[in-house]
Amino acid sequence: MRTLNEWDLNSNTTKISYKKALEMLHAGTQVVQEDIVFTDELVDWLDVQKLNDAGIRVPRHLIHYDDETIDYTDHPSIETLINEQSYAEVFTVSFDPEIAKWIRKYDIDYNILINDFMKTIYKSVQKVK
């Protein structure tokens, strides 16, 4: 995997946009948080996921998603929540790089993991009350 310096030796800039970072990541180039400068431009949540997978965190106020464009039916746990008229919240979770690597390595569905974790916490709190 090439690094940022190997990718653009002729560049006088040390910072790149998130769009350039996405292009470089797609090409197999390693990009780190320090390589990117974020402007006031909103970042689509799908791009945020790609950046997060590379360990790059997007400032929360720049993350954009449109509820109307999200298909909840492709995830059984979300579909079940909606069918049961339960509360469903869409949010971005930033994992430490080590945790993100573990999730990718074992192909863990973190939506199910977090949901099960929250159920366990809820049940534990209810027992203590």
- As for how many domains the chain has, the answer is 2
Task: Say if residue 90 is in the same domain as residue 61.
Answer: no
Domain membership of residue 114 as a residue range: 71-129
Indicate whether 3 and 57 sit together in one domain: yes
Interior/surface letters 94-109, b for 16+ CB within 10 angstroms, e for the rest: eeeeeebeeeeeeeee
pLDDT (mean) for 2-7: 44
Cβ neighbours of residue 56 closer than 8 Å, sequence gap 6 or more: 18, 21, 31, 32, 33, 36
Residues 103 and 86: their CA atoms lie apart, in Å, by: 26
**Nearest-angstrom CA–CA distance, 126 and 121:** 9
Percent of the chain with pLDDT over 70: 71
Does one domain contain both 50 and 18? yes
Render pLDDT for 74-116 as a digit per residue (tens, 0 to 9): 555 544 444 444 455 666 777 788 888 888 888 888 778 888 8
Residues 56 and 79 in one domain: no
Distance CA 91, CA 106 (A): 22
pLDDT of residue 23: 94
